[in-house]
Amino acid sequence: MLSKSKFYLSYITKVGIILVVLFGINASSSKMETYSTNENINKSIDLSTMAIYINKEEEAKANEEALQKYLWGSLDSYTGDLTGYGANCAACTGRLACTGLDVRDGTSTYTDDTYGTVNIVASSSNLPCGSIIRFENSRISEEPVIAIVLDRGVLGNDIDLLTPSEEYAYKYVGRSTITYDVLRFGWEK
């Protein structure tokens, strides 16, 4: 025969097991009740797809910001004199030294694959042909001027802006000291 203490211990153990089983069944059934069904398939939302979409938007935005920084960020800065010239100047052939392009028709811009329509400048060999520069000069434009090096004929860090004519260069460009940023060194490869 079992002693009273062993009987109560056995009874409490059995009751405990029954409670554990009951709570287990209750917990699993309540878990089942938290699931819901979507009877309208047209309005289902896939949150993981939304998260991927949001991440791709953020990634695209970050890539665009990196591209803008790459395209418009200064690689180096120089200070030199800015002058203007026309293809009809006394020492000019009317052809650009870097490309051989004939500009005697008054052409003073160039369409670059990356930077679009830009002004043309002459530089010393300090800047390779195809280099892109940016400078500010209120006599020429209220906006920053973007230009490409397509000609030679100046010394040091000076820049000579190609204009439609010598008269235009004298009237609107003149001579001034500027600081300009190099956005690209030479042609892209």
CATH number of the domain encompassing residue 107: 2.40.40.10
CA atoms within 13 A on the CB side of 2: 8
- The reported pLDDT for the residue numbered 71 is 81
What's the residue count for the chain?
Answer: 189
User: What digits encode the pLDDT tens for the residues 146-166?
Assistant: 999 999 989 999 999 999 988
Structural domains in the chain (count):
1
CA 55 to chain centre: 17
- Side chain identity, residue 98: C
Cβ atoms within 10 A of the Cβ of 157, count? 17
Residue 110 belongs to domain spanning: 75-184
The answer to whether residue 43 is domain-embedded is: no
- Extract the residue ranges of the chain whose pLDDT is less than 70: 1-13, 15-16, 19-54, 188-189
- The reported pLDDT for the residue numbered 184 is 94
- The reported pLDDT for the residue numbered 175 is 94
Q: Is the pTM of this model over 0.85?
A: no
- The reported pLDDT for the residue numbered 55 is 73
The answer to whether residue 132 is domain-embedded is: yes
